[in-house]
Chain A
Amino acid sequence: MTHGQAAKRLAGILARGALVGAALFSAAAPGFSAQDRGQDTICMSLEPPVLDPTLGAAQAIREVTYGNVFEGLVAIDRAGKIVPKLATSWTVSPDGLVYTFTLRPGAAFHDGAPFTAADVKFTLERALAADSKNAQKWIFQPIAAIETPDAATVKITLKQVAANFLYGLAWGDAVIFSQRSAATNATNPVGTGPYKFDRWTRGDRLSLVASQAWWGGKVAIPRATFRFVNDAQAQVAGIRSGDCDALSNLAAPEAVPDLQADKDLSVVIGKTEGETIVAMNNGKKPFDDVRVRRAISHAIDRNQVNLGAINGAGTPIGSHFSPTQPAYIDLTGRYLYDPAKARALLAEAGYPNGFEAVMKVPPPAYARRSSEIVAAMLAQVGVRVTLEPIEFPQWLDRVFKNRDYDLTIIAHTEPLDIGIYARPDYYFGYKSPAFVDLMAKVDAASDEATRNRLYGDAQRLLADDAVNVFLFVLPKITVTRVGLDGMWPDWPLPANPLAELSWK
């Protein structure tokens, strides 16, 4: 039979082909050695679904593009401050309604088109349009009119005073596009930033190269790669072997002690804007009773949750505010862990034997792990919690949209989002005219000191009302190879600006 011989010959051909192929491909692939000063590889957990931050809310889009490919009129720096970017300066009229931006001369898009006031007008109008798909349309909604008196000036008039307008313009959702490339930015992003898009191998990595035309001059590292490593073990292996020069946010907090012991690596545990809360349905019995909510707050030891869920890497919070914000006040002492007091409060509210409740738990590991610890703690005071794991789309539908829940655990990752407690139909079911009033005053506040004082009052009010149980803000665990400087230690918003990196 010639069958066997044919198979053997085929196998031989295939084997030779494979060898030649391997040689070819490994020669063609760029070297990924760690200590090459001309480049760096940042490893992150999730891959962006698209590269256009105006097409979706996914954090990974911002982590790759913000400050690298795309820039806004203004930006948030690593300390959380608003700084000039494509606008060199701006003035606000005394009534707080007219913002006049002076644009940066010499800025240009990667396709060569100069950056002008027309691009700003185009971008803002696109975000405002009826068919806009911008995930943060609230940023733009206060806009009444956009004027471009000359190519280097943009004058924006608002309908009413909006204290966070400028802050919103610094978000990834407000980066400036060119009309020429706006439609194709999803897969071929063209911006004004220090790096231009090079290549995207889906499922693995994305590379950027320094733009020669950047207004900010020459960057220290001409070539950068983002690798998408979902597996926590693989992240640890990657940073150890040198496949990764930095991990923007380690997915396995439990590996921190091991990595800290490695003298080639530096580990920084920073903060994010991700306030992690046990949300309670304030519109539903028994959680409509503030005594019940306070009892639950007393029954949960947030330090133990922090330790058990994320190895203690989170920063405890006592209200819905991130410690990265200047207006933050520490309210973690408001409800100390005290099961006896919790039981007393429950009895006072008419539940001496506790009650049953269902907690709907979305997929992230921090939520799943926290939920088991919280359920065990609540059981100690007689609140018998059934855990119901659900996928994120169903969480959005059932919990967020239809408010069909008792308890849930979620991290609110949007920066400075305390205003959600003033929304009438928000899923917390929290109705407080006093809080709505406070938020209106924040919006109308003209100076920062007043605004921060009001934010403090708002934090106190939420803690007093025990709207939710405030656990901690999610950590940003940055791991870098010694020698690479400039990674952001905290995430006032999710970003990895590569132009700030350099090899020592």
Chain B
Amino acid sequence: MTFIARRLIAALVTLLAAAVIIFVMLELLPGDPAAVVLGVNATPETLAALRSDFGLDRPILERFFRWLVGFATGDLGTSYTYRIPVAALIAERFAVTLPLAFLSILLAAAIGLPLGLFAAARANSASDTAVMVFAEIGLAVPSFWFAILLVLLFSVTLGWLPSGGFPGWDRGIVPGLKALILPAISLALPQAAVLARIMRGAALEAMAEPWMRTARAKGLSLPETMRRHVFRNALIPVLTILGLQVSFLIAGAIVIENVFSLPGLGRLVFQAIGQHDIIVVKDLVMVFSAMVILVNFLVDVLYGLVDPRLARGRA
């Protein structure tokens, strides 16, 4: 298992380098969190007192290591703006971003996978072309524009769904889902397009394998073969891509949350930049990066485990 150990070390080094870059970049950002909190009438003494409360009067290296050690031990510090632990703030916002990401993956898979399979089964037919046209359009339409179009139709014109905001889960699951459905659809569209293309490609590859002919010869119908053999074989590459998409999905959620004013992580990071709540920005960018690095690491390991020789032996 030295392979996994090597990848793990590489991932940790990447994470550490990311931490240095994030810290340095945010140090370069001009501004004073105390001035943002206290406004335009604050006296210099008051500003100094608050900066000292925030620990901003300490030397830069000390602040870096305090932050790093804190992050490693789960103590993310206290928000300058909200005066509550950043960890609690992030946990609250996760309750919006995570369901949003989950919902859109679900939608993307539910739309993209059957479409891809369907297109592969009828390769080079009119339906295949239609699916591929859908995929091309899905990739070309900016998700935030799609979001605006959905709002135009379902909120402004029909009045069925809210155009933005989030009521909080304690008001019931249904109002929460209603607030998330349009954002989830806008996020899912490009993902569904990607999945449809990849599913189609993987399915075509699987269909070209010799055992396919055997299965058909044994009398299995095409839809049945597709379901029982092609789909299962194509699933491995598709799952890999799906895993990779998780991180892109989270990045996409940053824009979409701002379109819909959803109180998720993406909106939090924008608000924190707007309020110079640097500690929150640092922690959040670090969390985002850590997620991407973790996903990449898992995919790497997965590839290592599913050794090409093993894969060939199974087929």
A and B touch in the complex (CB under 8 A): yes
Are A234 and B38 in touch, CB under 8 angstroms? no
**B294, chain A: closest CB distance, angstroms:** 24
- Comparing B56-64, B124-132, B155-163, B201-209, the segment that makes contact with chain A is B155-163
Also in contact, A57 and B41, with CB within 8 A (given A131-B49, A231-B260, A234-B164): yes
Q: Are B36 and A230 in contact (CB under 8 A)?
A: no
Closest chain A residue to B232, Cβ basis = A1
Smallest CB separation, B102 vs chain A (Å)? 11
A228, B93: Cα distance in complex, Å: 15
Tell me the dominant secondary structure on chain B's binding face. Answer: loop
Q: Contacts A203-B263, A233-B151, A414-B40 given: A363-B31 contact, CB under 8 Å?
A: no
Contact with B along A25-46 (1 / 0, CB 8 A): 1101100000000000000000
> Are A135 and B173 in contact (CB-based, < 8 A)?
no
Chain B residues contacting A21 (CB-CB under 8 Å) are 173
Assess whether A29 is in contact with B171, with CB atoms less than 8 Å apart: yes
Chain B CB count within 10 A is highest, among A138, A393, A400, for: A393
Q: How far is the CB of A47 from chain B (nearest CB, A)?
A: 9
Contacts of A22 in B (CB 8 A): 172-174
Q: Is the CB of A397 within 8 A of B30?
A: yes
Q: Report yes or no: A393 in contact with B170, Cβ–Cβ below 8 A.
A: no
Contact across chains for A393 and B164 when beta carbons are under 8 A apart: no
A65 at the interface (CB under 8 A from B): no
Bound CA span A393–B33, Å:
7
Number of A interface residues at 8 Å Cβ cutoff, please give it: 49
Q: Is A56 an interface residue (CB 8 A)?
A: yes
Q: Say yes or no: B155 contacts A25, CB within 8 Å.
A: no
Q: Which of A25, A56, A131, A203 has the most CB of B within 10 A?
A: A203
Q: Is the interface of A mostly helix, strand, loop or mixed?
A: loop
Shortest Cβ distance from B278 into A: residue: A393
A233 touches B41 (CB 8 A): no
B42 and A234 contacting across the interface, CB-CB below 8 Å: no
A401 interface hit (Cβ, 8 Å)? yes
Q: Which residues of A contact B (CB under 8 A)?
A: 18, 21-22, 25-26, 28-29, 49-50, 55-58, 130-138, 141, 186-187, 201-205, 229-231, 233-234, 237, 363, 391-394, 396-398, 400-401, 412, 414, 417
Considering the chains assembled together, what is the distance between the CA atoms of A58 and B81 in angstroms? 10
Residues in A whose Cβ lies below 8 Å from that of B40:
57, 396, 400, 412, 414
Q: Contact at B164–A233, with CB atoms within 8 Å?
A: yes
B200 within 8 A of A: no
**A133-B53, A202-B92 known; A237-B46 Cβ under 8 A:** no
Contact status B36-A29, CB under 8 Å: no
Evaluate contact between B172 and A25: CB separation under 8 angstroms. Answer: yes
Known contacts A138-B43, A202-B92, A414-B41; decide if A396 and B35 are in contact (CB<8 Å): yes
- Check if B49 sits within 8 Å of A25, measured CB to CB: no
Q: In the bound complex, how far is the Cα of B28 from the Cα of A394, in angstroms?
A: 12
With A and B bound together, what is the CA distance between A394 and B30 in angstroms?
A: 6
Given A137-B42, A203-B166, A393-B31, verify A25-B36 contact (CB < 8 Å).
no
Smallest CB-CB separation from A410: which chain B residue?
B40
Inter-chain CA distance A393–B83, complex, in Å, is 18
**Docked pose: A133 CA to B274 CA in angstroms:** 21
Give CA–CA (A234, B273) in the complex, Å: 24
- Docked pose: A99 CA to B37 CA in angstroms: 31
Pull 15 A–B residue pairs with CB atoms less than 8 Å apart, ordered by A: A22-B173, A25-B173, A56-B81, A57-B40, A58-B37, A130-B45, A133-B38, A135-B38, A187-B84, A230-B165, A231-B261, A234-B163, A234-B261, A396-B31, A414-B41
Please indicate the chain A residues that have their CB under 8 angstroms from the CB of B43 in the complex.
Answer: 137-138, 141
- Assess the B163–A201 pair: CB atoms within 8 A: no
Q: Judging by beta carbons under 8 Å apart, are A18 and B173 in contact?
A: yes
- In whole angstroms, how far apart are the Cα atoms of A412 and B41 in the complex? 11
Choice from B81, B83, B151, B170 contacting A29 with Cβ under 8 Å? B170
Name the residue of chain B whose CB is nearest to the CB of A50.
B83
Residues of chain B with a CB closer than 8 A to A396's CB: 31-32, 35-36, 40
B230 to chain A, nearest CB (A): 15
Minimum C-beta distance from A339 to chain B (A): 33
Nearest residue (CB) in B for A231 is B164
B65 within 8 A of A: no
In contact, B35 and A397 (Cβ under 8 angstroms): yes
Least distance between A40 CB and chain B CB atoms (Å): 17
Contact of A137 among B31, B46, B173 (CB under 8 A): B46
* Smallest CB gap from B173: residue in A: A22
**Could you say which residues of chain A place their CB within 8 Å of the CB of B166?**
203-204
Q: How far is the CA of A50 from the CA of B81 in the complex (A)?
A: 8
Q: Is the CB of B170 within 8 A of A25?
A: yes
* Closest residue of B by beta carbon distance from A25: B172
Cβ–Cβ contact B260 & A50, under 8 A: no
Task: Give residues of chain B (78-103) contacting chain A, Cβ–Cβ below 8 Å.
Answer: 81-84, 92-93, 96
A49-B81, A57-B39 are contacts. A205–B168 as well, Cβ < 8 Å?
yes
